[in-house]
Amino acid sequence: MSNKPTFDLITIFPEYMAPLNLSLIGKAQEKGLVEIAVHDLRQHATNVHHSVDDTPYGGGAGMVMMPEPWGKAIDQVAAQRPGTIHDLIILTPAGRRFNQSIAQEMSSYEHMIFACGRYEGIDIRVTEHYQNTPGFRVHELSIGDYVLNGGEVATLAIMESIIRLIPGVLGNPESIVEESHSITTADGGVLLEYPSYTKPAEWRGLPVPEVLLSGNHALIEKWRAEQASARTQKVQNHLK
Q: Can you give the binding site for ligand 6GU, defined by CB under 6 A?
A: 91-93, 141-144, 146-148, 150-151, 154
- Nearest approach in angstroms of CB 119 to ligand 6GU is 9
Q: Alpha-carbon dihedral of residues 21, 24, 30, 31, nearest 10 degrees?
A: -160
Close Cβ partners of 92 (under 8 Å, ≥ 6 residues apart) = 117, 121, 122, 140, 141, 142, 151
Q: CB 117 → ligand 6GU: shortest distance, Å?
A: 7
The residue (of 31 and 96) whose beta carbon lies closer to ligand 6GU is: 96
CA angle 140, 146, 151 (to 5 degrees): 45
Residues contacting 125, CB < 8 A, separation 6+: 67
**Residue 56 preceded by cis peptide, ω within 30:** no
**Closer residue to ligand 6GU (CB): 109 or 114:** 114
Least separation in angstroms between residue 7's CB and ligand 6GU is: 16
**Nearest residue (CB) to ligand 6GU, 22 versus 147:** 147
Q: Which is nearer to ligand 6GU, 88 or 228 (CB)?
A: 88
Nearest approach, Cβ of 96 to ligand 6GU (angstroms)?
A: 10
